[in-house]
């Protein structure tokens, strides 16, 4: 440990002085890193020839999620838009009706836009969402040639229906309220929901897989 004689204070973070051998090799010591790297595995990413790896919690493009019966999780509350520091989100809610129930409860996200020219991928919108409707995927390839194409609409953000889900709109699971949906008590479409869709949209392509899933759940 050395002393700072000007200030007369102890310099607690100064390196110990080098010995004569270390002083002699000091000018070429920096090459040690370069030379040792010659023998290491190459770590250069080959993107875009190979898909780049990202960490599982990487903040990429947003997605709007669904419940297991196919209803949308977004209730149009606008909390994500209010939380956004970049004013990148625009939400307009619509009222659910008996003929047009898109999400549990009274309202759904009728218009949902994210402007990726503004978004800084901070994730505050995701934290603010009370229903976990909004999450962020690992997708990062968002470059476009047209500025307007960087404004994503609801249909661009809504996750596709998984096998066994029933396309909205349709009624909620009979006997359950929106709180039951939030508590994760919905595991798939019921026969009553499927029958409703059959009556109102007999050509809906999701009926067959929803019926198969409902039958499996009853076993
Ligand atoms: S990630 Fe951040 S900047 Fe982007 S929309 Fe969400 S809150 Fe706004
Ligand atoms: S995504 Fe979440 S926070 Fe945003 S409007 Fe929908 S429910 Fe509300």
132, 98 contact by CB (below 8 A): no
pLDDT at 6: 52
Ligand index nearest the alpha carbon of residue 136? 1
Residue 4 has pLDDT above 50, yes or no: no
Contact 143, 48 (CB under 8 A): no
Q: Write out residues with Cβ below 6 Å of ligand 2.
A: 74-80, 91, 109, 128-129, 131, 133-134
**Is 93:107 a contact under the CB 8 Å cutoff?**
yes
Distance in angstroms (rounded) separating the CA atoms of residues 77 and 63: 16
**pLDDT (tens digit, 9 = 90+) per residue, 60-72?**
999 999 999 999 9
Cα 178 to Cα 131: distance, rounded to the nearest angstrom: 10
How far is the C-alpha of 14 from the C-alpha of 2, rounded, in Å?
A: 7
What six digits make up the tokens of 202? 């007999």
pLDDT of residue 53: 86
Centre of ligand 2 to C-alpha 164, Å, is 24
> CA-to-CA distance for 96 and 104, rounded, in angstroms?
8
Q: What is the pLDDT of residue 10?
A: 63
Residue with the bigger pLDDT between 14 and 149: it is 149
Report pTM.
0.81
Residues of the binding site: 74, 77, 80, 84, 119, 122, 125, 129
Rounded to the nearest whole angstrom, what is the distance from the C-alpha of residue 108 to the centroid of ligand 2? 9
Q: Is the pLDDT of residue 5 over 60?
A: no
Answer whether 157 contacts ligand 1 (Cβ < 6 A). Answer: no
Instruction: Check residue 43 and give its pLDDT.
Output: 82
pLDDT at 132: 97
pLDDT at 8 over 60: no
pLDDT(144) > 70: yes
The pLDDT of residue 140? 94
Question: Residue 30 has what pLDDT?
Answer: 81
Q: Is the pLDDT of residue 14 over 80?
A: no
* pLDDT the model gives residue 88: 98
Residues 155-186: tens digit of each pLDDT? 999 999 999 999 999 999 999 999 999 999 99
Full set of structural domains in the chain with CATH: 61-218 (3.30.70.3270)
d(CA 10, CA 120) in angstroms, rounded, equals 44
Instruction: Give me the pLDDT at residue 38, please.
Output: 86
């Amino acid at each position: 440990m050395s002393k700072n004689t000007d200030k007369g204070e102890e310099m607690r973070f100064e390196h110990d002085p080098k010995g004569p051998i270390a002083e002699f090799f000091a000018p070429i010591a920096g090459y040690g890193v370069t030379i040792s790297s010659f023998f290491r595995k190459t770590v250069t990413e080959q993107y875009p020839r190979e898909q780049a790896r990202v960490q599982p919690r990487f903040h990429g493009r947003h997605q709007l999620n669904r419940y297991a019966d196919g209803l949308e999780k977004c209730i149009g509350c606008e909390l994500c838009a209010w939380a956004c520091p970049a004013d990148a989100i625009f939400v307009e809610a619509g009222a659910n009706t008996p003929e047009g129930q898109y999400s549990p409860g009274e309202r759904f996200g009728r218009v949902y836009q994210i402007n990726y020219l503004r978004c800084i991928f901070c994730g505050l919108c995701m934290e603010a969402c009370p229903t976990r409707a909004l999450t962020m995927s690992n997708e990062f390839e968002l470059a476009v040639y047209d500025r307007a194409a960087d404004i994503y609409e609801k249909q661009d953000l809504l996750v596709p229906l998984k096998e066994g889900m029933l396309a909205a709109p349709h009624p909620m699971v009979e006997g359950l309220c929106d709180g039951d949906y939030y508590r994760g008590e919905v595991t798939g479409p019921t026969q009553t929901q499927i029958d409703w869709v059959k009556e109102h949209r007999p050509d809906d392509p999701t009926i067959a897989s929803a019926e198969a899933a409902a039958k499996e759940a009853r076993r």
